[in-house]
Chains A and B, each alone.
Chain A
């Protein structure tokens, strides 16, 4: 047998098919042709010995800034950052300029990402026109144009009446609403978590109740409307408890955690570090541990980055004026691997949260290594250590709190549709 590409001898982990074994994967016509022991010749062979081979990662929460703020990031630079981080499918939030609140913008983003051809980019449509929380968008039209879920992320769907209607309308067509849960009345003027740190720094805090109270309200509305409700970037002890209880009750409630919320605490902002400023903010150790427990017990099904590139000009202006958000695509995997190293999750469970789980929530044909599926594959070394240098990030955004820190775990190959779209390795052998 002769095939085009062989990934040889890696630890193949495919949570959707309950596979965790040393095996070869062979690829033909951009699709996975087989998993097992390969006997034959391949045009290209990737030696994956001592590496993990898994479905290409899915990041269901990124900001790509195109159209409108291309100096911060664009679809091409964001795609390059994604594949450098092992991500082959990402969902981009609608707070662009113009917003993804009509079908033309959604189609334009998909078309542009197809031209670039590095990473699948799936837009998330706005819930309300102009993201101003007043009038619903044409969700059916946006869905037909390729939007995979709906959110006003960056802003909450603030008014309870609008949220009720949004949940009712979206669930009539089985669409999912993703909420940036933040009661702005409570967080007004705030820039970091409210508590001892904000008091010492003399800056206005964002109390944790800003997040918790909106999640509580939304869960009540979800109960009434039988809707599909997803909490973006959950960060609080109370929020995790609310989601856990709602899921136990059988409501269609899900949530995601960003790596910074389970890896870091508010202590990072001491010294007015604007690269540790995001919304929701880094919180206390108790909150961090609650997010980890939520990941462990399955309350939190998804890890997503909230990748939010900003220009230095918007970060170098003092903590309280600095823009919210950090980049995350290139650090998601190494930071998340700490959950395996600390025995919170098995490798398979961790990968599920970045592959088949978000795929299931969003009804995506991705996130598995099933024979016949598109060969979107990530190969990484879970042990390799490297130093994160902000200036070497592929993303245009250099706003990371991990600058100068050692990372463990590095992507060596990223394949999309059977094509190697990223590699750090020299271990590809070309054969006749």
Chain B
């Protein structure tokens, strides 16, 4: 497999790498459920979470992932960062890189931030934790790990993604992943919430949610990102939006009783999703959150784990990269064939 230096987006991964990371994530689920939630994989590694946008689950998830693998993790959020003092994004990045972390995990409202910083930050690995409306690769890997728990294969599965596609990095990353892994995407939104030429991803485009539901193996609901909207004209009201694009029990029944419901969070109950669906057995929203930690462990381990036995004497309990890879291979169990 091609080694990973950075994780900017699903765009940069081939299907083999995607499967490897998901399988590696699968092997980490167990650690998170133990009473002693610690493995020495990343001992001696430094990870900086640099978040320029508000985030609860993604930041916590990366932080727990690093800590449970014994890395030293620092969190920096925009409200406490030097950017408030007028320092440029580039200077903030270069300053942190000068402190020699192994990984910088970055979330920023500007699309392309990770690619841009990587050009100037030398050896530091960069993980994209969401950049504007561009990509959010660890979310997609998380979703795939979640779906893996129920489905034998992604091949020919239909995921219907609904809502604010225009501002959604999750939607874009899924559309890219779908092509690589052979699943199908339907996007559902009024034209005001769709970006230009979205059909060129090879997806089916619907404005009528009810028409898109039959045959959907999973329904992926998105939050309205009102903070990114430049006007108040994208939807006339929450009430009308919910009526047209909200997922409730009656709608979900149109898809089928086995249809999975996903959401990247945070959910707005009563807007894009009603409580009877959010809390139903179809909902895998909390599984996504749980798997998010495992996937971020996998990503961090893949970027900086295991390879430097020369730095440290091997410990009996320490999982080497090879052991992790073996685990990952075992966990395939025919799944991604």
Contacts and interface: CB of A to CB of B under 8 A. Distances in A.
A98 interface: no
Interface stretch (A172-180, A310-318, A405-413): A310-318
Interface string A168-206: 000000000000000000001100001110111111110
Nearest to A193: B196
Contacts of A203: 111-112, 132-134
Contacts of B113: 318
A319 B172 contact: no
Contacts of A198: 195-196
A272 interface: yes
B197 interface: yes
Given A316-B90, A317-B89, A318-B89, A201 B200 contact: no
Q: Looking at chain A's contact residues, is the secondary structure mostly helix, strand, loop, or mixed?
A: loop
Given A189-B230, A316-B90, A199 B132 contact: no
Contacts of A202: 111-112, 131-135, 169, 172
Interface in A269-325: 271-272, 313, 316-321
Interface string A198-225: 1111111101000000000000000000
Among A189, A198, A199, A316, find the residue whose CB has the most chain B CB atoms closer than 10 A: A199
A198 B196 CA distance: 8
A271 B111 CA distance: 11
B200 A196 contact: yes
A319 B134 CA distance: 12
B97 to A, nearest CB: 15
B235 interface: no
A314 to B, nearest CB: 10
B54 interface: no
Nearest to A207: B196
A317 B88 contact: yes
B198 A320 contact: no
Contact-size category for B:
20 to 34
B82 interface: no
A204 B112 contact: no
B72 interface: no
Contact-size category for A:
20 to 34
A313 B87 CA distance: 11
B111 A319 contact: yes
B116 interface: yes
Interface string A19-49: 0000000000000000000000000000000
B67 to A, nearest CB: 30
Nearest to B112: A272
B290 interface: no
B196 A320 contact: no
A198 B111 CA distance: 10
Interface string A320-334: 110000000000000
Interface of A: 188-189, 194-196, 198-205, 207, 271-272, 313, 316-321
18 contacts: A194-B196, A196-B196, A196-B200, A199-B200, A201-B111, A202-B112, A202-B133, A203-B133, A203-B134, A205-B196, A271-B115, A272-B115, A316-B116, A317-B90, A318-B112, A319-B112, A319-B116, A321-B89
Given A316-B88, A318-B111, 17 more contacts: A189-B230, A195-B196, A200-B172, A201-B134, A202-B111, A202-B133, A203-B111, A203-B134, A205-B196, A207-B196, A272-B111, A316-B120, A317-B88, A318-B89, A320-B110, A320-B112, A321-B110
